[in-house]
Structure 1
Amino acid sequence: MRVVIAGAGAVGASVARELERHGHEVAVVEVRPDAAAKTDVGGAAMVLGDACDLGVLREAGTLCADVLVAATGDDRANLVASLLARSEFGVRRTVARVNNPRNDWLFDESWGVDVAVSTPSIMTALVEEAVESGDLVRLLRLEAGGAALTEFRVPAGHWLRGRRVGTVSWPLEAPLLALVRDGAPRPSAPDEVLEEADELFFLAAAEAEAALRRLLVGPEADQPRRAAVDGAEAGAPGAEPRGEDTDQASHSPSA
């Protein structure tokens, strides 16, 4: 597999080294000469230039790439690089880093992004998953926001306790994938009886998540509570992303 990575900061360089060790052909694009000269990207090729420039992306082999990873510290650069990779080079899959959670709403298919990765959102979800019981927690957004992996831990006294999986009217577009009991995965078979503290994992379409929340949490939970995972919905469209010293600074136009 051929992968082009925009940004040779800590994130981009780590991804490049890991992919290269797994036998993939990797090229890294970095706009800063000092970073390009000093950063360890393993056996990956280093291309000096702006990842928002068509000529630079072409030099990096984006025309033949299977995946583009936009991993700079500038959300605008990541959006533009993803859009160019999809629209100008026909890259099949794009993965983009979200630096500012308030900009998460921009990272969708309209900007050519297949998978948006937000470290604050992931960390928030993991914290909530570890401590929350009785609420629906979105763990990971998949395929440009079309679906999300969500988790629900059955609390004491919940109506699910003692019910068989097959007797529950789960939303059609939010199937129960699996459950975890005492740290061990179990199949979500129709005859499986649910118990307190069971962790239920769903793959929910965006339009079915509210119905799933109403089913599990109650009608008063029609609106998801504000959290970093859902923070994109509350973010201001004009939010200005901040770059990081460790990643590529973009000369691209504002998104």
Structure 2
Amino acid sequence: MRVVIMGCGRVGSALALRLDALGHLVTVVDQNPDAFRRLGAFDGERVTGIGFDRDTLVEAGIESADAFAAVSSGDNSNILAARVARETFGVTNVVARIYDPGRAEVYERLGIPTVATVPWAADQVLRRILPQGATSEFTDTTGTLSLAQVQVHPGWVGTRLTALEARVGARVAYVVRLGRALLPGPDTVHQDGDQVHLLARAADLADVERSLVQPPAAEE
């Protein structure tokens, strides 16, 4: 893939290096040339300029890009650049980093995928403080479905995940086991240390979490 990244801060540089290591063609745009020092050993291209400027984007190869990520430190710049990439140059795979969660919801409804930085960070901290997940990792734009990492009672160890799904009326989307994510099959058994990520109706999420911190019934 050819990917254009606007912003060479900590997020942009880390994203660029990971994509570069995976063999993708990457161009990073930043108006501060000193920011490119974060890239170190990087095989991609560096373009100095304003990330939402059309000429700058053309220089960065936006016309042949498969994806565009706007991850600078400014919400307005990120959204403007994302809209230019999508509406002017027809890039379909576009994402923007947003600090203001209210704006993030608005732009999601406009069809621009966003990563709301502050809520995400707060959510990750919350998950490590509270005994239950408390908030979702992802909620669809209609607010109907949520994906959340849920705490599961140790009594479920050795039980098929299909039984867990039947208990709460939700779907196990994936499990992180020994540092690797896996898609569960019909015979996948819950193991000690598994991190269970479950897709449920947003309105039911609290009840789902309360149910799973209880041990399974004998018939389960």
Report the TM-score, using the length of structure 1 for normalisation. Answer: 0.62
Q: Once the 2 structures are TM-superposed, how far is the Cα of residue 190 of structure 1 from its aligned partner?
A: 8.1
- Cα distance change on mapping 1:17 and 1:196 into 2, 3 Å: closer
Aligned residue number for residue 203 of structure 1: 199
Tell me the distance in 2 between the aligned counterparts of 1:191 and 1:35. 46
Q: Which stretch shifts more, 146-155 or 66-75?
A: 146-155
User: How far is the alpha carbon of 1:47 from its aligned partner?
Assistant: 1.7
Query: 2:178 & 2:43 partners in 1: Cα distance?
Result: 43
Larger RCO, structures 1/2 (Cα 8 Å, 6+ apart): 1
* 1:16 CA drift (Å): 1.8
Match of 2:164 in 1: 165
* RMSD of aligned Cα (Å): 4.0
Q: How many residues align?
A: 206
Distance 1:59 1:144, change over 3 A: farther
Aligned match of 2:173? 177
Contact 1:3/1:27 (<8 A) preserved: yes
Aligned to 2:64: 64
Identity %: 28
Q: Which amino acid aligns with 1:55?
A: D
Q: Which runs of 5+ in 1 are unaligned?
A: 219-255
Query: Post-superposition shift, 1:217?
Result: 4.1
> 1:200 deviation in Å?
3.8
User: 8 Å contact 1:179–1:188 — kept in the other structure?
Assistant: no
Q: Partners of 2:83 and 2:54 in 1: how far apart?
A: 11
Bigger helix fraction: 2
**Given the superposition, is the C-alpha separation of residues 93 and 191 from structure 1 closer, same or farther in structure 2, using an over 3 Å criterion?**
closer
Which shows bigger deviation, 57-66 or 148-157? Answer: 148-157
TM-superposed CA distance for 1:150, in Å, is 0.5
* One-letter amino acid of the structure 2 residue matched with residue 43 of structure 1: D
Q: CA deviation at 1:195?
A: 10
Contact map agreement 2:177 2:195 (CA 8 A) in 1: yes
Counterpart position of 1:153: 151
Q: Residues 7-63 of structure 1, C-alpha deviation per residue, up to 9 Å, x if partnerless?
A: 122322232223223221111111235546x55362221222211122221221111
Match of 2:214 in 1: none
Secondary structure class of the residue paired with 1:164:
helix
1: CA distance between counterparts of 2:60 and 2:31? 13
TM-superposition CA deviations, 1:164-216 (whole Å, max 9, x none): 33643515xxx223567999989474896x89998542134xxx211333454
> Per the alignment, do residues 35 and 146 of structure 1 end up closer, same or farther by CA in structure 2, a change over 3 Å counting?
farther
C-alpha separation in 2, matches of 1:181 and 1:5:
31
Q: Helix, strand or coil: the match of 2:199?
A: strand
Q: 1:150–1:203: 8 Å Cα contact kept in structure 2?
A: yes
User: For residue 16 of structure 1, what is the aligned residue in structure 2?
Assistant: 16
CA 1:176–1:33: 2 relative to 1, 3 Å: closer
In structure 1, how many angstroms separate the alpha carbons of the residues matched to 2:83 and 2:61? 16
Mark the runs of 5 or more structure 2 residues left unpaired by the alignment. Answer: 212-220
Matched with 2:48 is: 48
SS in 1 for 2:148: strand
Cα separation, 2, equivalents of 1:40 and 1:73: 17
In structure 2, the partner of 1:132 is 130
Q: Are the structure 2 counterparts of residues 180 and 13 from structure 1 closer, same or farther at C-alpha, using a change threshold of 3 Å?
A: closer
Shift in alpha-carbon separation, 1:183–1:200, aligned structure 2, 3 A: same
